[in-house]
C-alpha cells in the first residue's frame, strides 16, 4: 500500500485528491494550516486521513509530515493573483520558501515522487496560443512568479538530488468544494452564488477574456498519474487543461442557462495582473503521463451547480 502526503489537503483541489486516494485504499496524510483550506472538507474521511495541522514554512512540521511517505502532492500555497499583488511578501514566503522546505524534507526522507501544483499564470499575457511548456514564461504577478520559482526548484532537485519531481500547470480548475465565500474566490463559484441569489454576476473588463476551464476530477487524475508515470517523465513541467477557450461572458451565459435564470451581468474594471487569453496545449501530459481529460465544461458546470445548490447555504 502506497502512502501519500497531500500538502494543502484541506483546500479545494487537495480535498478532491484526498478523496480519490481514500476511495482507492491508499494511506493518506494531510499537512495544512487551514489558512485558506477548510477542515470541513476533510470531515467526510474521518480516521482514514491523518491530519497534521502545520505550516509548510515550519521545518519541524514538514519533516514530520514527510516521514515514511512514498509520494508528496504539494498544493499548499497562498492562492490568488489579486492577493499576491496586495501582499507580495507573504506570497513569496509561503509559495517559494514553503515549497523549498517541502522539497528539502522530501529529499532527506527518501520520498519517491514529488508533484507540485503550478499555474498557467506563469505564461503571462503573451499573444501566442495555445500555451506550450517550451515557451518563455512571462509572469505578470508575484503569484505567477512564485509558481515559476517552485517549478525551477523542482527541476533542480531532480537534476541535483534525483528526486523525481513533476510540476503541473493548472488552467482555471473548477468543481465541487470550491469556496464561494473566500475573499479571493474563483469566477465560477462567484457566478453561481450571484445568479442563484438573483443578482447579476460581476464581470471584470468586457467579458471577452478567455480561459481554459478544467474540471477538478481531471486535475486529480493528472496528479495521480504523475505518481505512476515512467521515471523518464520526471523533472518536467506539464500543462493540465482541455485545450479549449471560453470567454468569461460565455461562461456566465452557460451557468445562467444551467440554473435557468436571467443573466443581467454587471461590468467593472479589469484586475491588475490578469491575463487576457489563456489556452493550453496538453500534448506532453497526454504523451508522457497518459492523461486524457474526461469531463467537458458543460458537464462539469452541471455537477458544480448541483453541488452548490445542495451543499452550500
Show the domain range for 164: 3-174+213-243+280-294
pTM of the model: 0.95
Q: Report pLDDT digits (tens) over 38-66.
A: 999 999 999 999 999 999 999 999 999 99
Which DSSP symbol is given to 200? Answer: P
Is 192 among the domain residues? no
How many structural domains comprise the chain? 1
Q: Does pLDDT of 154 surpass 70? A: yes
Mean pLDDT of 126-132: 94
Is residue 202 included in any domain, yes or no?
A: no
Q: Is there a domain that residue 97 lies in?
A: yes
pLDDT tens sequence across 77-92: 999 888 999 999 999 9
Within 10 Å of residue 251's Cβ, how many Cβ atoms?
23
Which grid cell is 251? 461562461
Is 75 inside any structural domain?
A: yes
Could you check whether the bond before residue 130 is cis, i.e. omega within 30 degrees of 0? yes
Q: Are 211 and 248 in contact (CB under 8 A)?
A: yes
What does each C-alpha distance from 93 to 57, 98, 114, 222, 275 come to in angstroms? 8, 7, 20, 27, 24
Considering the domain boundaries, does residue 239 fall inside one? yes
Q: How far apart are CA 257 and CA 260, in angstroms?
A: 5
d(CA 47, CA 50): 7
Domain of 53, CATH number, reads 3.40.50.720
- Residue 266 forms part of a structural domain: no
Who has greater pLDDT, 293 or 313?
293
Q: Considering the domain boundaries, does residue 185 fall inside one? A: no
pLDDT of residue 208: 95
Residue 200 lies in a domain: no
Helices (H), 138-284: 142-161, 187-196, 216-226, 248-259, 283-284
> Where residue 183 falls among pLDDT bands split at 50, 70, 90?
low
Amino acid at each position: 500500500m502506497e502512502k501519500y502526503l497531500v500538502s494543502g489537503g484541506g483546500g479545494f483541489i487537495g480535498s478532491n485528491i484526498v478523496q480519490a486516494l481514500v476511495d482507492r485504499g491508499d494511506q493518506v496524510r494531510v499537512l495544512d494550516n487551514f489558512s485558506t483550506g477548510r477542515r470541513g472538507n476533510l470531515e467526510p474521511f474521518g480516521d482514514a486521513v491523518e491530519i497534521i495541522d502545520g505550516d509548510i514554512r515550519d521545518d519541524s512540521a514538514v519533516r514530520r509530515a514527510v516521514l515514511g511517505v512514498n509520494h508528496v502532492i504539494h498544493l499548499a500555497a497562498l492562492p490568488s493573483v489579486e492577493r499576491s499583488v496586495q501582499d507580495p511578501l507573504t506570497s513569496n514566503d509561503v509559495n517559494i520558501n514553503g515549497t523549498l522546505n517541502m522539497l528539502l524534507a522530501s529529499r532527506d526522507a527518501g520520498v519517491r515522487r514529488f508533484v507540485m501544483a503550478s499555474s498557467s499564470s506563469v505564461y503571462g499575457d503573451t499573444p501566442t496560443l495555445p500555451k506550450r511548456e517550451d515557451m518563455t514564461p512571462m509572469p505578470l504577478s508575484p503569484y505567477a512568479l512564485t509558481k515559476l520559482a517552485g517549478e525551477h526548484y523542482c527541476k533542480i532537485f531532480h537534476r541535483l538530488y534525483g528526486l523525481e519531481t513533476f510540476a503541473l500547470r493548472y488552467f482555471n480548475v473548477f468543481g465541487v468544494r470550491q469556496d464561494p465565500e473566500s475573499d479571493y474566490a474563483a469566477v465560477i463559484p462567484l457566478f453561481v452564488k450571484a445568479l442563484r441569489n438573483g443578482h447579476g454576476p460581476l464581470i471584470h473588463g468586457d467579458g471577452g477574456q478567455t480561459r481554459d476551464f478544467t474540471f477538478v476530477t481531471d486535475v486529480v487524475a493528472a496528479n495521480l498519474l504523475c505518481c505512476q508515470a515512467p521515471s523518464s517523465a520526471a523533472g518536467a513541467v506539464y500543462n493540465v487543461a482541455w485545450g479549449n477557450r471560453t470567454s468569461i461572458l460565455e461562461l456566465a451565459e452557460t451557468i445562467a442557462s444551467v440554473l435557468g435564470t436571467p443573466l443581467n451581468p454587471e461590468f467593472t474594471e479589469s484586475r491588475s495582473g490578469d491575463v487576457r487569453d489563456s489556452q493550453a496545449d496538453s500534448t506532453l501530459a497526454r504523451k508522457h503521463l497518459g492523461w486524457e481529460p474526461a469531463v467537458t465544461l458543460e458537464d462539469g458546470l452541471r455537477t458544480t451547480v448541483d453541488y452548490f445548490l445542495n451543499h452550500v447555504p
